[in-house]
Amino acid sequence: MNIVLFGAPGAGKGTQSALIVEKLGMVQISTGDLFRAAIKNKTELGKQAQAFMDKGELVPDSVTIQMVDEVLVNLKSKSFILDGFPRTQAQAEGLGKILKQRGLEIGKAIFLEVPKEELLGRLTGRRVCKACGAVYHVQTKPAKVDGVCDNCGGEVVQRNDDKVDVIATRLKTYEDNTLPLRSYYKEQGKYVELNGAQDSDKVFSALKTVVQGG
Ligand code: ADP
Ligand code: ADP
Ligand code: ZN
């Protein structure tokens, strides 16, 4: 089954997607990771995306949809999880169209519900590996050696957009643009809501049940 995983910045989308890749062998498509890779590689796409990301705004829909379309072309027949896409109604409609063209569909759109009070602490404490993208948290999931990735030895740093002023814009952007997707997927009968405020192994076991069609 193909899945959309959505929720606020800091809801745990990246953490859960990594578990799904590791334990269930699905393919993760994270638009945030794709944009960060484009920035790192100094591509034209990266140049376009960076200004929006630094401000905590969304990259324009047309650019984002096209990027996802290009990834979907190369997927072969593996089941995928969309992490952080769609984030707007236009992206959700665009996704529906490109999947239909390829004879694919989304099985479930899973919303990770986390109270706003919890998100700020998650985002300000988040650290990521510059090399492999592994996600840490200074309090709840510190790297074994401070600043060094457990997986690959890469440098563990704070994302530029995880600074307090940018976080405020990202949360507002999310409330205005992404929260309304709940009704979009409810109308399609694909909506599932999970409690994202539990320990991440509990979230994962609930997610796994949905992904495996339970
Ligand atoms: P988070 O994990 O905190 O939700 P992401 O890594 O998913 O953040 O996204 C980081 C930034 O990349 C967003 O603030 C936005 O600027 C851009 N971005 C990611 N996904 C999308 C998308 N689907 N549409 C537009 N912009 C996006
Ligand atoms: P998103 O991709 O939705 O922005 P992340 O998976 O990057 O979210 O998680 C944001 C931060 O919260 C990270 O530092 C991560 O370690 C932490 N985190 C993720 N899931 C949980 C959880 N269930 N409980 C506590 N902290 C969590
Ligand atoms: Zn790493």
CA-CA distances (angstroms) from residue 25 to 19, 20, 118, 149?
9, 7, 30, 22
d(CA 60, CA 136): 28
Q: Does residue 126 have an active-site annotation?
A: yes
- Per-residue pLDDT at 161: 95
Q: Does residue 13 have an active-site annotation?
A: yes
Query: 126-129 and 135-137 as β-strands: parallel, antiparallel, unpaired?
Result: antiparallel
d(CA 162, CA 187): 33
Strand partners, 191: 109
Residue ranges in 25-163 assigned as alpha helix (H) = 31-40, 44-55, 61-73, 89-101, 116-125
Backbone CA torsion sign across 145, 147, 151, 153: negative
- Per-residue pLDDT at 213: 84
Which residue in the list 130, 141, 159, 182 is annotated as catalytic?
A: 159
CA of 14 to the centre of ligand 2 (A): 7
- Per-residue pLDDT at 159: 95
d(CA 9, CA 53): 13
Report the candidate in 198, 207, 5 with the shortest Cα–Cα distance to residue 106: 5
- Ligand 1 pocket, residue 56 CB under 6 Å: yes
Only one residue has tokens 């409330």, namely: 175
Which residue in the list 36, 87, 108, 122 is annotated as catalytic?
A: 87
- Per-residue pLDDT at 73: 87
Backbone CA torsion sign across 84, 89, 91, 93: positive
- Per-residue pLDDT at 78: 87
> Which stretches of the chain score pLDDT less than 50?
none
d(CA 90, CA 141): 35
What is the distance of C-alpha 188 from the center of its chain?
Answer: 21
- Per-residue pLDDT at 75: 85
User: What is the tens place of the pLDDT at every residue in 37-81?
Assistant: 999 999 999 999 999 999 999 999 999 999 999 999 888 778 999
What is the distance of C-alpha 152 from the center of its chain?
Answer: 21
Backbone φ and ψ for 12, nearest 5 degrees, come out as: 110, 15
Q: Does residue 102 have an active-site annotation?
A: no
pTM: 0.96
d(CA 212, CA 196): 18
- Per-residue pLDDT at 116: 92
Task: Name the helix (H) or strand (E) containing 194.
Answer: strand 191-195
